[in-house]
Amino acid sequence: EIVLTQSPGTLSLSPGERATLSCRASQSVGNNYLAWFQQKPGQAPRLLIYDASSRATGIPDRFSGSGSGTDFTLTISRLEPEDFAVYYCHQYVTSPLTFGGGTKVEIK
Amino acid sequence: QVQLVESGGGVVRPGGSLRLSCAASGFTFSSSGLHWVRQAPGKGLEWVALIRFDGINKFYADSVKGRFAISRDISKNTLYLQMDSLRTEDTALYYCAKSSGWLIGHWGQGILVTVSS
C-alpha cells in the first residue's frame, strides 16, 4: 500500500499570501498518478489537480501542482477567501487507492 | 452534467447489513468506472471500492474486503454497495464518485451510515 503523508497539518495564512502544501509517498507513484482535492465544510471533495500537474476543468490558474516520484506539491499562488479549506492528495496508480491525511488551510 | 445521488443510509446495529445505492446520470454509465469513498465524522477520506468500466474487475480496501460488495445495474444506471457484518468503525459519510480510468472525478453529496448499538 502506498502511504501518503501530507505536511503541514495546518497552514495559517492571510488572503493574498502563497500556500505551499506537501505530499510525500512511501514509494514511487508511477506515471505521476497523483491528484489533489479541495474540501470545504459540508461539501463533497472537488478535484483540483490530476496527473500531478494538470488542472481539472474550471480550476483557476492560481492552483498549480508539481513533483514526481515520491514528492509532490500543491501551490496556491495568491489565496482568495474561498480557498480556505482542507486539501487532500490521492494516488490512483494502484489498489488500494489511498489519500493523504489532509492539510487544513486556515485564515490567520 | 454528471449527477450522482446516494441513498440507503441510516442507523444499523453492529453485525447488521445495509445496501447503499447511487443513481447516476449525465454520462455513459455502462462504460464508466465508479468508486465508493467514505469519510468518518471529522476525519479524512478513505477509499472503499472500485468497479471498473467492464463491470467485472472490482477492487476493495483491506478494511472492507470480504464484508462489502460493489456492483452495478446498467439498466437502472445505479451503483450499489452491499455492506455486511458492519462495525462501529464503518460509521461514515459514504460518497459515490465517477472514475476516469482510475482517477476519481465527480462526487455525489454523500449519505450517512451510522453503526451503533
- The answer to whether A40 and A85 are in contact (CB under 8 A) is yes
pLDDT of residue A65: 98
Mean pLDDT of all residues belonging to chain B: 97
Question: What is the arithmetic mean of pLDDT over A70-97?
Answer: 97
Best probe of the B interface among A92, A93, A94, A104, by most B CBs < 10 A, is A92
pLDDT of residue B25: 96
Confidence label for B26 from pLDDT (cuts 50, 70 and 90)? very high
pLDDT tens digits, residue range A2-46?
Answer: 999 999 999 999 999 999 999 999 999 999 999 999 999 999 999
Chain A residue nearest residue B36, CA to CA: A97
Q: How far is CA B96 from CA A23, A54, A81, B58, B76, in A?
A: 24, 23, 28, 15, 16
Confidence label for B117 from pLDDT (cuts 50, 70 and 90)? very high
Confidence label for B45 from pLDDT (cuts 50, 70 and 90)? very high
Question: What is the arithmetic mean of pLDDT over B80-106?
Answer: 96
pLDDT tens digits, residue range A43-63?
Answer: 999 999 999 999 999 999 999
What percent of chain B is predicted at pLDDT more than 90? 98
Question: What is the arithmetic mean of pLDDT over B83-94?
Answer: 98
pLDDT of residue B87: 98
d(Cα B109, Cα B117) in Å, to the nearest integer? Answer: 26
Of chain B residues 18-77, which have a CB less than 8 A from chain A?
35, 44-47, 50, 59-62
Q: How far is CA B87 from CA A81, A107, B48, B51, B83, in A?
A: 39, 37, 14, 23, 10
Question: What is the arithmetic mean of pLDDT over B16-35?
Answer: 96
Q: Which residues pair with B12 in a beta bridge?
A: B115
